[in-house]
A and B are shown apart, each in its own frame.
Chain A
Amino acid sequence: MKEYKTITEVSGPLIFVEKTEPIGYNELVYIKLEDGTTKRGQVLDTSNDIVVVQIFEGTGGLNRECGVRFTGETIKLPVSIDLLGRILSGSGDPLDGGPNIVADDRLDINGAAMNPYARQPPADFIQTGISTIDGMNTLVRGQKLPIFSGSGLPHNEIALQIARQAKVPGSDEKFAVVFAGMGITNEEAQTFMHDFERTGALERAVIFLNLADDPAVERLITPRLALTAAEYLAYEHDMHVLVVLTDMTNYAEALRQMGAAREEVPGRRGYPGYMYTDLSMIYERAGVIKGRKGSVTQFPILSMPGDDITHPIPDLSGYITEGQIVISRDLHRKGIYPPINVLPSLSRLMNSGIGEEQTRDDHKAVSDQMYAGYAEGNDLRGLVAIVGKDALSERDRKFLEFADMFEDQFVRQGKDEDRDIEKTLEIGWNLLAELPEAQLTRIDNELIKKYHPAHRAK
Chain B
Amino acid sequence: MEIKGTIYRVAGPVVTVINVPTKMYDVVKIGNEGLMGEVIGIEGDKSTIQVYEDTSGIAPGEPVENTNMPLSVELGPGLLESIYDGIQRPLPVLMEMMKSDFIERGVTATGLKRDKKWEFVPTVTKGTSVAGGDIIGTVQETHNIEHRIMVPPNMSGVIDTIKKGSFTVAECVCRLTDGTELSLMQKWPVRAPRPVSKKLMPNVPLITGQRILDGLFPVAKGGTAAIPGPFGSGKTVTQQQLAKWSDTEIVVYIGCGERGNEMADVLNEFPELEDPKTGRPLMERTVLIANTSNMPVAAREASVYTGITIAEYYRDMGYDVSLMADSTSRWAEAMREISSRLEEMPGEEGYPAYLSARLSEFYERAGRVNTLSGHAGSVTVIGAVSPPGGDFSEPVTQNTLRIVKVFWALDAKLSQRRHFPSINWLESYSLYNNTLSDWYDEHVSPEWSEMRGDVMEILQKESELQEIVQLVGSDALPEDQQLTMEVARMIREYFLQQNAFHDVDTFCTMEKQYKLISAIMKYSDLAITALESGTPLENILAVKAKDTLAKVKFEEDFEPTLKTVLSAMDEEFEELRR
Residues of A whose CB lies within 8 Å of any CB of B are 22-27, 44-48, 73-74, 108, 110-122, 142-143, 235, 264-268, 272-274, 276-277, 280-281, 284-287, 289-290, 292, 309-312, 315-316, 318-324, 343-344, 346, 348-349, 351-352, 368, 371-372, 375-376, 382-383, 386-387, 391-393, 396, 438, 441-442
Contacts and interface: CB of A to CB of B under 8 A. Distances in A.
Contacts of A371: 416-418
A48 B293 contact: no
A46 B102 contact: no
A267 B332 CA distance: 13
A114 B293 CA distance: 11
B265 A48 contact: no
B54 interface: yes
Interface in B218-271: 231-232, 236, 255, 257, 259-265, 267-269
A322 B473 CA distance: 38
Contacts of B333: 273, 276-277
A22 B62 contact: yes
A368 B415 CA distance: 10
30 contacts: A24-B57, A25-B10, A26-B56, A27-B57, A46-B60, A48-B61, A112-B104, A113-B260, A116-B83, A116-B263, A116-B267, A119-B261, A264-B340, A273-B340, A273-B350, A276-B257, A280-B292, A290-B101, A310-B389, A310-B391, A320-B259, A322-B259, A322-B261, A348-B236, A348-B262, A387-B471, A391-B473, A392-B473, A393-B475, A441-B550
B431 interface: no
A25 B231 contact: no
Given A114-B294, A344-B232, A387-B473, 18 more contacts: A22-B59, A113-B260, A120-B268, A267-B349, A267-B350, A268-B388, A276-B333, A287-B260, A289-B101, A310-B388, A315-B389, A320-B293, A372-B418, A391-B472, A391-B473, A393-B474, A441-B550, A442-B418
A138 B112 CA distance: 41
B504 interface: no
B58 interface: yes
A143 B260 CA distance: 10
Nearest to B291: A116
B294 A117 contact: no
Interface in B398-426: 412, 415-418
Interface string B494-506: 0000000100000
A241 to B, nearest CB: 16
Nearest to B551: A445
A316 B296 CA distance: 18
A57 to B, nearest CB: 21
A444 to B, nearest CB: 9
B12 A25 contact: yes
Interface in B426-464: none
Given A320-B293, A382-B470, A45 B388 contact: no
A155 to B, nearest CB: 19
Nearest to B264: A119
Interface residues of B, number: 79
Contacts of B343: 265
Q: Which 5 pairs show the lowest CB-CB distances between chains A and B?
A: A310-B389, A47-B9, A280-B293, A119-B264, A22-B59
Contacts of B8: 47-48
Interface stretch (B91-99, B163-171, B199-207, B532-540): B91-99
Nearest to A444: B554
Scoring A113, A322, A391 by chain B CB atoms within 10 A of each residue's CB, the highest score goes to A113
Interface in B46-89: 54-62, 83
Contact of B59 (A24, A112, A116, A387): A24
B290 interface: yes
B59 A23 contact: yes
Given A117-B83, A117-B290, A265-B350, A346 B232 contact: yes
Interface string B129-157: 00000000000000000000000000000
Contacts of A309: 389
B11 interface: yes
B390 interface: yes
A249 to B, nearest CB: 16
A284 B60 contact: no
Contacts, number: 227
A13 to B, nearest CB: 17
A393 B104 CA distance: 63
Interface string B324-342: 0000001001001101110
Interface of B: 8-12, 16, 54-62, 83, 91-92, 94-95, 98, 100-104, 231-232, 236, 255, 257, 259-265, 267-269, 290, 292-297, 330, 333, 336-337, 339-341, 343, 346, 349-350, 386, 388-391, 412, 415-418, 470-475, 493, 501, 547, 550
A25 B58 contact: yes
B9 A48 contact: yes
Contact of A312 (B267, B330, B388): B388
Contacts of B16: 47
Scoring A111, A142, A265, A289 by chain B CB atoms within 10 A of each residue's CB, the highest score goes to A265
Contact of B493 (A117, A122, A441): A441
A46 to B, nearest CB: 5
A321 B261 CA distance: 10
A131 to B, nearest CB: 18
A115 B101 contact: yes
B294 A274 contact: no
Nearest to B232: A346
Nearest to B388: A315
Nearest to A118: B101
B93 to A, nearest CB: 9
A280 B231 CA distance: 15
A320 B8 CA distance: 34
Contacts of B470: 382-383, 386
Contacts of B350: 265-268, 273
A24 B58 contact: yes
Given A273-B337, A289-B101, A351 B231 contact: no
Contacts of A119: 260-261, 263-264, 267
B355 to A, nearest CB: 13
Contact of B61 (A22, A74, A143, A266): A22
Contacts of B268: 120-121
Nearest to B290: A116
A121 B265 contact: yes
B231 A318 contact: yes
A74 to B, nearest CB: 5
Given A274-B340, A318-B232, A114 B471 contact: no
Contacts of A286: 261
Contacts of A349: 261
A74 B231 contact: no
A287 B501 CA distance: 23
Contacts of A23: 59-60
Nearest to A142: B261
Given A113-B292, A117-B83, A310 B260 contact: no
A287 B261 contact: yes
Contacts of B472: 387, 391
Nearest to B500: A351
A319 B470 CA distance: 33
Contacts of B292: 113-114, 116, 280, 284
B454 to A, nearest CB: 24
Contacts of A114: 101-103, 260, 292, 294
A26 B296 CA distance: 15
Nearest to A308: B389
Scoring A44, A311, A346 by chain B CB atoms within 10 A of each residue's CB, the highest score goes to A346
Contacts of B389: 309-311, 315
Contacts of A343: 416
Contacts of A268: 349-350, 388
Given A47-B60, A117-B290, A386 B265 contact: no
A277 B103 contact: no
B264 A73 contact: no
Given A25-B11, A115-B95, A116-B267, A383 B473 contact: yes
